[in-house]
Amino acid sequence: MEFDAIAIIGLATICAGGLAYALIYPFLSGELKADQRLDAVAQTAARSVRGKLDEQTVKRPSVEETLKELDRRQKNAARPPLQTRITQAGLTWTKKQFYILSAVLGVVGFIMPLMAGLSLIPALASAGAFGFGLPQWILNFMKKRRMAAFLNELANAVDVIVRGVKAGLPIGDCLRIIATEAQEPVRSEFKFVVEQTALGIPLHEAVLKLYERMPVAEANFFCIVISIQQKAGGNLSETLGNLAKVLRDRKKMKAKIVALSQEAKSSAAIIACLPPAVMIFVYMSTPQYISLLWTTELGRLMLAGCLLWMFTGVMVMRKMINFDF
């Protein structure tokens, strides 16, 4: 009996000790605190993941809105108003001054044929050419020349931004360096961007106006990179470095295309100059033979038809040798 009692007491003691160990040991060993810390870390990680997902969800619409805004501005740049075209040509004229110049040229074009003894219809045609065609042609010529100069310097300006960002400078300071040190017209265009940011306009909105003032694909690439980086973040120096490489490759490709098309342009110029040259040489040798073209009614009709066909041929050759790149 005594042995059974001792066994029962021993088993009860072991059970009580095991129960106490199971209940009290987690508090003494720190396992409960470790579990609590693991739960807290897991909850923090979950909140961080949710925050990143929410941030990406917020950034995605902002990037989409930026691309939509760029697309809208690109469509508007395809048909700019007159004042915008004057600005793109690098002129400081107003629309009123441009219209006055067009009117003066139109009057000059009207008077010159009358002084030469021609009738009213050629005078009106000359007035229309001088008053409407010539100012628009001059404006487009100056615009293309300025855009070509801008493209030649844009890659160097992007390289300046890349080096400045890698050196730790803010992008605003890099733009100010370009606005003071770069060649024209890049200097004036980036100066306009810096002035816009100084007035409180965000940088991504200020660079969007750069494409409106300089509607070339390379400027559009630069605006897209800056706008998306401002909205979504990322490695700006690496992105702009890739952009600079793309700009230089496009410049090399354009130069190669121009070189390959020079032969066709020279042939077209020779073909277009042959009929007037032959006409001048025939007039110098036998003027009474060639003068029938403008002294008789049939000759004038034939001369007008020849001019029309020559103009058509020149336009067709120009369309064939001018590559869109």
Identify the domain containing residue 307 by its residue range.
261-325
Structure tokens at 159: 């390289």
Which burial class, exposed, middle or buried, applies to 270 when counting CB atoms under 10 A from its CB (0-12, 13-18, 19+)? exposed
**Residue 83 resides in a domain:** no
**Residue 246 resides in a domain:** no
- Structurally, the chain folds into a number of domains equal to 2
**Residue 282 resides in a domain:** yes
- How far apart CA 128 and CA 122 sit, in angstroms, is 10
Amino acid identity, residue 214? M
**Residue 54 resides in a domain:** no
Instruction: Return the sign of the alpha-carbon dihedral for residues 181, 182, 183, 189.
Output: negative
Query: DSSP labels for 51-119?
Result: HHHHHHHHHHHHHHHHHHHHHHHHHHHTS--HHHHHHHTT----HHHHHHHHHHHHHHHHHHHHHTT--
Residue-by-residue pLDDT tens, the chain, 325 positions: 454 555 555 555 565 555 554 455 444 444 555 556 555 545 554 454 444 444 444 444 455 565 565 566 655 555 677 888 888 887 888 888 888 888 888 888 888 888 877 778 888 888 888 888 888 888 888 888 888 888 888 888 888 888 888 888 888 888 888 888 888 888 888 888 888 888 888 877 788 888 888 888 888 888 888 877 777 766 777 888 888 888 888 888 888 888 887 877 888 888 888 888 888 888 888 888 888 888 888 888 888 888 888 888 888 887 777 766 5
**Residue 15 resides in a domain:** yes
Query: For the chain, how are helix, strand and coil distributed in percent, rounded to 5?
Result: 85, 0, 15
For the entire predicted model, the pTM comes to: 0.62
**Residue 23 resides in a domain:** yes
**Residue 228 resides in a domain:** no
What is the number of residues in the chain? 325
- How far apart CA 39 and CA 54 sit, in angstroms, is 22
- How far apart CA 298 and CA 306 sit, in angstroms, is 12
**Residue 285 resides in a domain:** yes
